[in-house]
Structure 1
Amino acid sequence: MGWLKLKEAGMKDGYIRKLMGYYKTYEELFCDENFKLFNTGLKTMLEKARNIDISKKMDLYYKNRIRIISANDREYPEKLKKIIDYPLFLYVKGKSLNEFINTDDRIRKNIAVVGTRRATKFGKSSCERIVKELLYYNVNLISGLAEGIDTIALTVAVEKEGNAVAVVGSGLDRVYPYENKILWEKISGNGILISEYPLGTEPLKWNFPKRNRIIAGLADGIIIAESFKSGGSLITAELGFSMDKEIFAIPGFINYPSFEGCNNLIKENKAKLITCAEDVAQEFLWDINKEKSKISKLNEEEKLLFCHLYEETGLEELMEKVKNKIPLNRILSILMSLKVKGLIIETGTAKYVRLI
């Protein structure tokens, strides 16, 4: 990891970025034919970097199971290179980025879900429902691991064994918020934790707006689940908009300040209004018929219950609707069957709604 020596020597990111653009490997800098072209100041800096010993530091990362990926490494996502000030190094814990982040523009299933830390009950339930639906399309769920919407989206992805990618604003040894420690550990084991900050970096407030460009850069589409008119998630939306990403927003009550940001994005034609994952699927031309084919395989009792769940329905109301068609003692087992098949979700205490 020679490039890291330049950072340790105090070279500015802009200079390192230029050198990375000209040379594929760190060693190329010291070839006689290249080195002799540099000015005296750069030569001095390079000599200083070459004499720095980072072996102990690298051992620390190895012990913490953290990989350092430079912008010139194969695992570094090309999507991020489109950002003007793309991060020089990514500190990654978990699975391979190449395994999770789709680079084929024909697939486009990297979906970011972001929103306010102060989520309302309505915002939470809307986010949960849409993320659960998205996971049936086998998306890579990207978020920021902040409180509120980010935590909700990633928690659903982890619980449903989906592909969870969390981009954080601190070193990977600084869990923030601390209440997310268990979620943090689960993602680092079965998903991916990403930071551009080295170990020991505290979660300073200005780190979070900056990390939003990584979320936007990795994503093919960005969903704003709930946001105040000047919420931090709008930074992600604006960045994504400038990168020609697909932007989506969940609409909210007009008298809820926490949805003013979402409603404004829709009103200003910067985001497409969505109420379900199928709205996103249609935009990306995902195979919707594949999911709908599940319905044709249902038995008559399952189809009947499924048809009655076009809107959120409580168990007692559902039992009343089908009491003369399905034995009441079978309803719960049928509902469980529909849940296992991924056709309905339980939205609250004994309340259900279909996903398709």
Structure 2
Amino acid sequence: MSLLHQIALTFLKDIGHTRAKNLVAHLGSAEEIFKVSPSKLVKIPGIGETLVGKLDMAEPLHRAEKELRFVEDNHIDVLFYTDSRYPRRLKNCADSPVLLYSKGNANLNPLKCVSIVGTRNATDYGRQLCRQLVEELAAYNVLVISGLAHGIDVAAHKECVKHHLPTVGVLGHGLDKLYPHQNRSVADKMLLNGGLLSEYPSGTRPDRQHFPERNRIVAGMADATIVIEAGLKGGALITAEIANSYNRDVFAFPGRLGDEYSEGCNFLIRNNKAALLTCMADLAYSMGWEKNSDVKGAEQLVLAIDLTAEERAVYEVIRSNSSPLAIDELAIKVNMPTSQLAMTLLDMELQGFIRSLPGKTYVVN
């Protein structure tokens, strides 16, 4: 697929991540979106004449050419959502970015992955919890995700670097800058065993609205989100809420009563929005983790979790059918809109679970 057109797709006005994925599912590639006639675009569900009438294809391509030069000059990896290296856990989230910019050498599809979040105003209590947790996580071969902000975020990244644990910082701006700049030294060290990740192109400023958006990536990439220390307001609780909406596990360390930066953790636990966490053993038990678990068995586990409930339903229907199934017939059997099914089938085909045959029919691999 054309990287230029994949980048340009993110610059199309009023398209957004969901519509972009829908277009790719119907037309087959980002490049085809820029080549197809307006009359064909109009027929795609969720697009319509009004939107097509406003589309300017030339300017996004011009911006993409500039961005492509930037990523090549700065050794940045571009991950389109159909790429096998795109974070699988994140792909299963409906609002996942259609494209990510990545710098470093992190494996974004590890066997185990957690997000660690917390207040920017970390106390000695919070930093100590962070040290203990990361030190014990090192025995489980876990990738740690956080937001490289002041406080708990950067404390988690620093501890990961210290214990040679891979860690990725998700940024709320383009990879041409670093905010806050005080964290530049730890960010540089993270590139050696982990990296930096952003959905935003170069030139994107660290504006306030980008950080809540960034939090969905922090939550979506992980098996579990761990809140170490947090007040009642702020990004940590937003991330926990998003993780809950994705049906991911959320854990929180309790704090002392009346402690301002433990009120958020206590609120999550009290309202059954997070499980109580007192040590690494609690997390390992809840997640079913074993230290240095057998790689072959773990790979089989990853294959099982790659399929969402909807994908499993589609897979079982295709598998149980004696002949290849056409998309229209499949839509009836699984009771799913054709537009949604097309996106689901594309994801499953890219993951290697099914393959398409002439006439838009499908069989299992």
TM-score range normalised by the length of the shorter chain: 0.7 to 0.9
For residue 255 of structure 1, the aligned residue among 246, 258, 261 is 258
Partner of 1:29: 33
Structure 1 position 120 matched with structure 2 position 123: yes
Kindly state the Cα deviation for residue 43 of structure 1 after the two structures are TM-superposed: 8.0
One-letter amino acid matched to 1:166 = G
One-letter amino acid matched to 1:3 = Q
Gaps of 5+ in 1: 291-356
Partner of 2:114: 111
One-letter amino acid matched to 2:31 = E
Partner of 1:349: none
Query: Per the alignment, do residues 44 and 209 of structure 1 end up closer, same or farther by CA in structure 2, a change over 3 Å counting?
Result: closer
Kindly state the Cα deviation for residue 47 of structure 1 after the two structures are TM-superposed: 5.1
One-letter amino acid matched to 1:209 = P
Question: Which one is further off, 169-178 or 41-50?
Answer: 41-50
The structure that has the greater radius of gyration is 1
Looking at structure 2, the residues matched to 259 and 4 of structure 1 have their Cα atoms a distance apart, in angstroms, of 41
The answer on whether the counterparts of 1:9 and 1:52 sit within 8 Å (CA) in structure 2 is no
The answer on whether the counterparts of 2:175 and 2:198 sit within 8 Å (CA) in structure 1 is yes
Q: SS of 1:192's equivalent?
A: strand
Kindly state the Cα deviation for residue 30 of structure 1 after the two structures are TM-superposed: 6.1
Partner of 2:322: none
For residue 84 of structure 1, the aligned residue among 94, 97, 120 is 94
Partner of 2:208: 205
One-letter amino acid matched to 2:85 = E
Q: SS of 2:228's equivalent?
A: strand
The answer on whether the counterparts of 1:240 and 1:246 sit within 8 Å (CA) in structure 2 is yes
TM-score normalised according to structure 2 size: 0.71
One-letter amino acid matched to 2:22 = K
Query: Per the alignment, do residues 276 and 91 of structure 1 end up closer, same or farther by CA in structure 2, a change over 3 Å counting?
Result: same
One-letter amino acid matched to 2:100 = L
Kindly state the Cα deviation for residue 9 of structure 1 after the two structures are TM-superposed: 4.7
One-letter amino acid matched to 2:13 = G
For residue 246 of structure 2, the aligned residue among 230, 235, 243 is 243
CA RMSD of aligned residues (A): 2.4
Q: SS of 2:168's equivalent?
A: strand
TM-score normalised according to structure 1 size: 0.73
Query: Per the alignment, do residues 64 and 30 of structure 1 end up closer, same or farther by CA in structure 2, a change over 3 Å counting?
Result: closer
Looking at structure 2, the residues matched to 82 and 121 of structure 1 have their Cα atoms a distance apart, in angstroms, of 36
Query: Per the alignment, do residues 7 and 101 of structure 1 end up closer, same or farther by CA in structure 2, a change over 3 Å counting?
Result: closer
Query: Per the alignment, do residues 165 and 30 of structure 1 end up closer, same or farther by CA in structure 2, a change over 3 Å counting?
Result: closer
Query: Per the alignment, do residues 50 and 195 of structure 1 end up closer, same or farther by CA in structure 2, a change over 3 Å counting?
Result: closer
Query: Per the alignment, do residues 289 and 182 of structure 1 end up closer, same or farther by CA in structure 2, a change over 3 Å counting?
Result: closer
**Deviation per residue, 1:144-201 (Å, 9 max, x gap):** 1000000111100011111111111111122111110111111123212101111111
Structure 1 position 65 matched with structure 2 position 56: no
Q: SS of 1:189's equivalent?
A: coil
> Pairwise mapping of residues 292-311 of structure 1 onto structure 2 (< 5 A)?
none
One-letter amino acid matched to 1:210 = E
Partner of 1:10: 13
Structure 1 position 180 matched with structure 2 position 202: no
Kindly state the Cα deviation for residue 11 of structure 1 after the two structures are TM-superposed: 4.8
Q: Size of the alignment, in residue pairs?
A: 282
Query: Per the alignment, do residues 145 and 31 of structure 1 end up closer, same or farther by CA in structure 2, a change over 3 Å counting?
Result: closer
Question: Which one is further off, 114-123 or 77-86?
Answer: 77-86
Query: Per the alignment, do residues 9 and 140 of structure 1 end up closer, same or farther by CA in structure 2, a change over 3 Å counting?
Result: closer
Partner of 1:93: 103
One-letter amino acid matched to 1:28 = E
Looking at structure 2, the residues matched to 29 and 246 of structure 1 have their Cα atoms a distance apart, in angstroms, of 37
> Pairwise mapping of residues 310-349 of structure 1 onto structure 2 (< 5 A)?
none
Looking at structure 2, the residues matched to 277 and 134 of structure 1 have their Cα atoms a distance apart, in angstroms, of 7
For residue 158 of structure 2, the aligned residue among 155, 158, 181 is 155
**Deviation per residue, 1:244-267 (Å, 9 max, x gap):** 111111111112111011111111
One-letter amino acid matched to 1:180 = N
The answer on whether the counterparts of 1:139 and 1:163 sit within 8 Å (CA) in structure 2 is yes
For residue 23 of structure 2, the aligned residue among 11, 19, 25 is 19
The answer on whether the counterparts of 1:6 and 1:46 sit within 8 Å (CA) in structure 2 is no
The answer on whether the counterparts of 2:6 and 2:31 sit within 8 Å (CA) in structure 1 is no
Partner of 2:346: none
Kindly state the Cα deviation for residue 56 of structure 1 after the two structures are TM-superposed: 3.8
Looking at structure 1, the residues matched to 272 and 19 of structure 2 have their Cα atoms a distance apart, in angstroms, of 38
Structure of higher RCO (CA pairs closer than 8 Å, 6+ residues apart) = 2
The answer on whether the counterparts of 1:24 and 1:72 sit within 8 Å (CA) in structure 2 is no
One-letter amino acid matched to 2:120 = R
Partner of 1:229: 232
Query: Per the alignment, do residues 78 and 138 of structure 1 end up closer, same or farther by CA in structure 2, a change over 3 Å counting?
Result: closer
One-letter amino acid matched to 2:86 = Y
Structure 1 position 142 matched with structure 2 position 150: no
One-letter amino acid matched to 2:179 = Y
Query: Per the alignment, do residues 56 and 31 of structure 1 end up closer, same or farther by CA in structure 2, a change over 3 Å counting?
Result: closer
One-letter amino acid matched to 1:185 = D
Looking at structure 1, the residues matched to 64 and 209 of structure 2 have their Cα atoms a distance apart, in angstroms, of 27
Partner of 2:296: none
**Deviation per residue, 1:33-59 (Å, 9 max, x gap):** x87523376388475368647434312
The answer on whether the counterparts of 1:20 and 1:71 sit within 8 Å (CA) in structure 2 is no
Partner of 1:306: none
Gaps of 5+ in 2: 43-48, 294-365
Percent of aligned pairs sharing the same letter: 37
Q: SS of 2:10's equivalent?
A: helix
